[in-house]
Amino acid sequence: MNILVINCGSSSLKFQVISSDDGSVLAKGLCERIGIDGAITYENVRDHLGKEKTVTQIEDHKKAISLVLDALTDVKGGVIRNLNEIGAVGHRIVHGGEKFTKSVVIDDSVLKAIREVSDLAPLHNPANLTGILACQALMPNTPMVAVFDTAFHQTMPPKAFMYALPKKYYEQYKIRRYGFHGTSHKYVSEKVAEYYGKKPEELKTIVCHLGNGASVSAVKYGKCIDTSMGLTPLEGLVMGTRSGDLDPAVVSYIADKENKSAYEVVQMLNKESGVLGLSNGLSSDFRDLWKARNEGNKDATLALDAWAYRVAKYIGAYAAAMNGVDVIAFTAGVGENDCDSRKLIYDYLGYLGITIDDAVNAATRGKVQEISTKDSKVKVIVYPTNEELAIAQETYALVKDLK
C-alpha cells in the first residue's frame, strides 16, 4: 500500500509517499511560503528524477495539497496513476494532550479532540488540522491517521510529568509536561532493541534526539518514563534557537527591564536563544559553530560546550531515573552527523563505564553504527531516525484491516 505522509506547519507542508511493502520512498517534497506567495519542491525518488522547484501562488493548505496530488499523478514525474493508488494518509500532529496515547484513525470525534487541545500548541495544531481538512476535501474516501508527537510520552508517571505548581493549574488548564519528538523516540528505541536482538521490554535506553530542536528520553523496558521537553518544546536541552531549562523568573525580569510582555520574552527564548544566542547571534547551525570554534571564536566555543554539558547532565539524570542504562542512542541532524559534538558529550560519560572508539565515532555519519568499544559497560550507538517512515508504518498498521 502507498501511504502519503503529511507534516503541516503554519506556512509549510512536507510530504512523502512511502510504500508499506518495503518502506521505500517513492516521492517527497515540500510546499513553502503558503499564504505568502508559494513554491513547491518535488522529487520523484523512485525513478531518480531529481528535485524540481516550481514557484507558484499557494494561497492556502488546500491549494498546497492539490499541488502535491497533481505532482504525484503527473504523467511525466508522478509516481502513481491516480489517487486510488494512495491507500491512506498519515498526518503528523504535534500535540495530542492527554487524550491521545497512540496513533488513531481520524474521524469527527478525533478532529474535535485535536481542536480541543489546540491551546497547548497554538502554532502547530491548527496548521495540522488544516492539513487534515484539506486532504479530506480532496480525498474523501481515503482513510487518514493522526500520529502524535506527544503520544509516546504519555506513559510518564505523574512524578515525572507534574510541575511543582498549585494543583489547580493542572486541573483547570492541563499544565504539565508532555514531551515531543515522540515518534522519533519510539522509533529509535524500538530499532535499537531490534539491532541488539532484544525486545524493547528488556532494555533501559536513553535516546538523544539532537537536531535543531532537541530532546532526550528515558525509555525503560519499552516505555517512556521521562523526557526533557515539557508543556511546550521549549524546556530541556539547549537547542538551535531555544534556551531550554532556565529560571522562570528570567521572564519577568527581562519583561520589566525591556518593557516587554511575557509572550515577547518567550518568543525570544524560542527564536533567539540556544546556541544561536550563546554564540552572540553567529549561527544555530552546528557546522558554522564548529568552523568558528576551530578558528578560535570564544562565543561559538562556549555555545557548543554549554550545549553538550546540558545533554550530558540529562543523560546522568536519566541513568539515575532508570537505576541504570543499557544503551545510549544518538539521532537526528546533529546526533547522526556530527562526530565532534557527540565527542563533547561522551567525554563526560566515563563514570558510567562507557568507552568509545574515537576513530569509529569520527567515521560515522548518517548511518547505523555502534561507536562504543566491545568492553564498554553501556552500548553507545548512532541510529538515524526516520519520522516519516515511522508515521507511514503506524498508519499502515491502523488501516490495513479497515474495510
Phi/psi for 25 (5° steps) reads: -90, 125
Choice between 211 and 230, CB closer to ligand ADP: 211
Instruction: Please tell me which residue in 21, 70, 107, 149 is annotated as part of the active site.
Output: 149
Report the 3 state secondary structure along 145-182: EEEECCHHHHHCCHHHHCCCCCCHHHHHHCCCCCCCCH
> What sign results for the dihedral spanned by CA atoms 244, 246, 249, 254?
negative
Distance (Å) of CA 225 to CA 52, 268, 320, 327, 365: 43, 30, 12, 15, 29
CB of 149 to ligand ADP, least distance (A): 12
Choice between 85 and 340, CB closer to ligand ADP: 340
Nearest partner of 229 among 270, 286, 272, judged by Cα: 270
Note the residues at the interface with ligand ADP (CB under 6 A): 211-213, 240, 284-287, 332-334, 337-338
Q: Using an 8 Å Cβ cutoff, are 392 and 28 in contact?
A: no
CB of 310 to ligand ADP, least distance (A): 16
Q: Using an 8 Å Cβ cutoff, are 100 and 113 in contact?
A: yes
Q: Using an 8 Å Cβ cutoff, are 143 and 403 in contact?
A: no
Choice between 289 and 398, CB closer to ligand ADP: 289
Nearest partner of 299 among 334, 332, 275, 325, judged by Cα: 275
- Does residue 22 have an active-site annotation? no
Choice between 211 and 236, CB closer to ligand ADP: 211
Closest CB to ligand ADP: residue number: 333
CB of 126 to ligand ADP, least distance (A): 20
CB of 76 to ligand ADP, least distance (A): 30
Number of H helices, E strands in the chain: 15, 14
CB of 172 to ligand ADP, least distance (A): 32
Choice between 142 and 241, CB closer to ligand ADP: 241
Catalytic residue numbers, as ranges: 149
